[in-house]
Amino acid sequence: MQTQTSETLRRADPAPTPEWDAIIIGAGISGLFQLHCLRDRLGMNVRLFEMGTGVGGTWYWNRYPGARFDSESYSYAYSFSQELLDEWDWSEHFAGQPETERYLNHVADKFDLRRSISFASKVTACHYHDDSRSWVVRLEGGSWHTCRFLVTAVGPLSAPTLPKVPGQESFAGEAYHTGLWPKHPVTFEDKRVAVIGTGASGVQVITEIAKTAKTLTVFQRRPNWCKPLHNRPISKNEMKRLRAWYPEMFQLCEQTSAGFLHTPDGRRTFDLPPDEREAFWEKQYGTPGFSMWVGGFKDMMTDRAANDEVSKFVARKIRERVHDPKVADLLIPKDHGFGTRRVPQESGYYEVFNQPNVELVSILENPIRRITPTGLELADRDFAFDLIVYATGFDAITGSFERIDIRGASKAKLKEKWRAALETFLGVQIADFPNMFMCIGPHTALGNIPRSAEYNVLWITNLIQYMRQHGYTYVVPRPEAVEDWTSFVLKAGEGLLSNDVDSWMTGINQNVEGKQTRIIARYSGSAPAFRARANAVATEGYRQLEMC
Ligand code: NAP
């Protein structure tokens, strides 16, 4: 592998023959599988650059206490290798982060992936060069590399963001973002701890910290609707039964709208009398995983009155579980209905607020003014802390792309292009950015990420294989294909209550400049419909793509 300095880059940029057939950015779930496919199935010369010092992506960075799956472990695993399926036992229905990180390390070892990965290698820029039909990929530190194909596997939730609050550097205690959690052990015993943020990460970390902290103060801007996870261990016998179910289970995941094991109930909310609706929700509330979110009545996400009913049910549950009615009221969302933002799955979250060591502070109308050397300040109150946890989320979906200076054939910056209008082809390619492919990019099916990622990776692999078979070295989507796909994505989002709500799913992040207006950032139609269109592109000979 060449390592070139920015001096040689100026002289030689762009290199006439790419050093690598493909460069992949990111060693998370999609990047690892993409590496295996391109290197081991197509025999390509591939390098993967990873910012961290280990594999795992999300499951490498989000090592905060309490981090765990909230889709069933086995449904989240890779399905591409029978051997891998046969040899890996999951210990819990919803595995914790350490187990998932171990699993992904096992995958990296099993398929000998590490020899093709450069760790601690942060990609800062990727520029396309038309004359050599190649990408120049620059790393922090000044080295650069060239490739024919660039595959981004940077993740939809991997650009952590901190509040826009002054004084953060001045804090004398420990401070951690959940998405950048350190590898060294962090303890909470005898400490006064603050957690800012109550999304899925906040809910998990709060529940864990409350067990041992001397005091825990939760700073909540807007509450989320949470539902019990109902995790439990998997016995050896149960694992055997699960393994026998795998073929059917993966088929089921292929058929469901979001790749999860749960399917929406075919009935509409008001088709049932109130007592039967209540019994249905009661059962769902007691069912593990996302059943209540993605397995609800079919009008739950499109009919406001229907959504109000299920929201009232969950609100009653919160009131039952939280002793102080004022605290319960603060924990009940008022600005959005159940399921219209990502539903955090909890394991005793609401009961935490009954503990004497825990205080909930609403900062919706009384925001944090500044972080001080000893704690933080609201307009009417000062707090002292030993440790602050920022569970404040991510510049989602487009953020990790925008942190890299990506420029296409016309030298236009991807960030600027997307700020003007977010447009893609199948969420995989972008006009003016030839030979670049996105795994789990914007406008692709998200849902159960590994299910979408495996499909995404195979689609990209098949396209590259087709190009190699035909001697093509250039591919870019035709403008009409981009237009067509983008309008399909916009149409798929019409009428969904979730697209009328501020959340990372609608591209909102109050901590990032220019991300205060809702957009359709993700494809919100069904995964089978997505795959049907993407499959048709391939079987019809990729007519939507310009190749030569
Ligand atoms: P998030 O859902 O975006 O939540 C961020 C939280 O921080 C929100 O409560 C937000 O309040 C608050 N916040 C942000 N900036 C703030 C500020 N300046 N002042 C006060 N509060 C602020 O992020 P997340 O919890 O990290 O979760 C992101 C996604 O990651 C999840 O939706 C999920 O898809 C994924 N995730 C998955 C798992 C899992 O599978 N088990 C676990 C964790 C996360 P507002 O709501 O008012 O903006």
Q: In the beta sheet, which residues pair with residue 370?
A: 377
Ligand 1 mutation target, pool 29, 61, 221, 400, most atoms within 8 A of CB: 221
Indicate which atom in ligand 1 lies nearest the CA of residue 202: 25
Ligand 1 mutation target, pool 392, 451, 508, 522, most atoms within 8 A of CB: 392
66 CA to centre of ligand 1 in angstroms = 15
Ligand 1 and 386: CB distance under 6 A: no
487 CA to centre of ligand 1 in angstroms = 29
Judge contact between 398 and 391, C-beta under 8 A: no
503 CA to centre of ligand 1 in angstroms = 9
Ligand 1 and 121: CB distance under 6 A: no
197 CA to centre of ligand 1 in angstroms = 6
29 CA to centre of ligand 1 in angstroms = 21
392 CA to centre of ligand 1 in angstroms = 5
What the block records as the tokens of 64 is 């905060």
Question: What pLDDT is recorded for position 472?
Answer: 97
Q: What are the chain's domains? A: 2-55+113-159+396-547 (3.50.50.60), 162-234+257-393 (3.50.50.60)
d(CA 29, CA 155): 9
d(CA 519, CA 504): 10
Instruction: Collapse the DSSP code of 441 into the 3-class scheme (helix H, G, I; strand E, B; otherwise coil) and give the result.
Output: coil
For the chain, the average pLDDT equals 96
Question: What pLDDT is recorded for position 296?
Answer: 94
Question: What pLDDT is recorded for position 47?
Answer: 98
Q: Which of 184, 223, 182 is CA-nearest to residue 203?
A: 223
What the block records as the tokens of 413 is 């910056």
Instruction: Collapse the DSSP code of 202 into the 3-class scheme (helix H, G, I; strand E, B; otherwise coil) and give the result.
Output: helix
Ligand 1 and 157: CB distance under 6 A: yes
Q: Which of 72, 66, 105 is CA-nearest to residue 91?
A: 72
Question: What pLDDT is recorded for position 336?
Answer: 98
Mean of the pLDDT values across residues 409-414? 97
The letter for the amino acid at 386 is D
Mean of the pLDDT values across residues 404-412? 97
Ligand 1 and 161: CB distance under 6 A: no
Question: What pLDDT is recorded for position 350?
Answer: 98
d(CA 210, CA 214): 8
163 CA to centre of ligand 1 in angstroms = 12
Ligand 1 and 222: CB distance under 6 A: yes
Ligand 1 and 318: CB distance under 6 A: no
Max Cα–Cα distance, the chain, nearest Å: 75
Give the residue, by CA position, lying nearest to ligand 1 atom 23.
393
Ligand 1 and 302: CB distance under 6 A: no
Ligand 1 and 156: CB distance under 6 A: no
- For residue 135, pLDDT over 50 is answered with yes
58 CA to centre of ligand 1 in angstroms = 14
The letter for the amino acid at 317 is K
Residues 6+ apart with CB under 8 A from 175: 168, 387, 388, 389, 390
Ligand 1 and 397: CB distance under 6 A: no
d(CA 160, CA 201): 12
Indicate which atom in ligand 1 lies nearest the CA of residue 363: 20
Ligand 1 and 393: CB distance under 6 A: yes
Indicate which atom in ligand 1 lies nearest the CA of residue 198: 9
Phi and psi at 74, nearest 5°, equal -65, -30
Question: What pLDDT is recorded for position 2?
Answer: 42
- For residue 12, pLDDT over 70 is answered with no
Give the residue, by CA position, lying nearest to ligand 1 atom 4.
199
Question: What pLDDT is recorded for position 16?
Answer: 65
Phi and psi at 419, nearest 5°, equal -65, -30
Indicate which atom in ligand 1 lies nearest the CA of residue 200: 25
Phi and psi at 447, nearest 5°, equal 60, -135
Ligand 1 and 448: CB distance under 6 A: no
Question: What pLDDT is recorded for position 3?
Answer: 43
- For residue 327, pLDDT over 80 is answered with yes
Reported as half-sphere exposure (CB side, CA atoms, 13 A), residue 500 has a value of 12
Judge contact between 408 and 128, C-beta under 8 A: yes
504 CA to centre of ligand 1 in angstroms = 8
d(CA 448, CA 192): 36
d(CA 533, CA 400): 26
Ligand 1 and 159: CB distance under 6 A: no
d(CA 63, CA 195): 16
Burial class of 351 by CB neighbour count within 10 A (0 to 12, 13 to 18, 19+):
middle
Give the tens place of pLDDT for each residue, 473-526: 999 999 999 999 999 999 999 999 999 999 999 999 999 999 999 999 999 999
Reported as half-sphere exposure (CB side, CA atoms, 13 A), residue 243 has a value of 17
Phi and psi at 426, nearest 5°, equal 60, 15
- For residue 25, pLDDT over 90 is answered with yes
Look at strands 382-384 and 46-49 and give their pairing: unpaired
Ligand 1 and 158: CB distance under 6 A: no
Ligand 1 mutation target, pool 180, 181, 342, 361, most atoms within 8 A of CB: 342
Q: What value, to the nearest 5°, has the Cα angle with vertex 427 and ends 426 and 429?
A: 85
Judge contact between 461 and 34, C-beta under 8 A: yes
- For residue 7, pLDDT over 90 is answered with no
Q: For residue 387, how far is the Cα from the chain centroid?
A: 26
Ligand 1 and 196: CB distance under 6 A: yes
Judge contact between 108 and 114, C-beta under 8 A: yes
> Which conformational region is residue 333 in: left (phi greater than 0), alpha (psi within -120 to 50 degrees), or beta?
beta
Ligand 1 and 342: CB distance under 6 A: yes
Confidence of residue 17 (pLDDT cuts 50, 70, 90): confident
Question: What pLDDT is recorded for position 13?
Answer: 45
Judge contact between 224 and 201, C-beta under 8 A: no
Q: Cis peptide leading into 434, omega within 30 of 0?
A: no
Q: In the beta sheet, which residues pair with residue 151?
A: 24, 437
Confidence of residue 290 (pLDDT cuts 50, 70, 90): very high
Ligand 1 mutation target, pool 75, 181, 201, 225, most atoms within 8 A of CB: 201
Reported as half-sphere exposure (CB side, CA atoms, 13 A), residue 494 has a value of 7
Confidence of residue 264 (pLDDT cuts 50, 70, 90): confident
Ligand 1 and 79: CB distance under 6 A: no
Question: What pLDDT is recorded for position 263?
Answer: 87
Judge contact between 161 and 393, C-beta under 8 A: yes
Q: How many helices (H) and strands (E) does the chain have?
A: 18, 20
What DSSP string describes 39-87?
Answer: IIIS---EEEE-SSSSS-THHHH---TT-B-SS-HHHHS--S-HHHHHH
Give the residue, by CA position, lying nearest to ligand 1 atom 2.
199
Mean of the pLDDT values across residues 186-191? 98
Give the tens place of pLDDT for each residue, 30-41: 999 999 999 999
Judge contact between 546 and 476, C-beta under 8 A: yes
d(CA 30, CA 494): 29
Give the residue, by CA position, lying nearest to ligand 1 atom 26.
393
To 10 degrees, the CA torsion angle through 247, 252, 254, 258?
-140
Helix, strand and coil in the chain, % to nearest 5: 35, 20, 45
d(CA 520, CA 498): 10
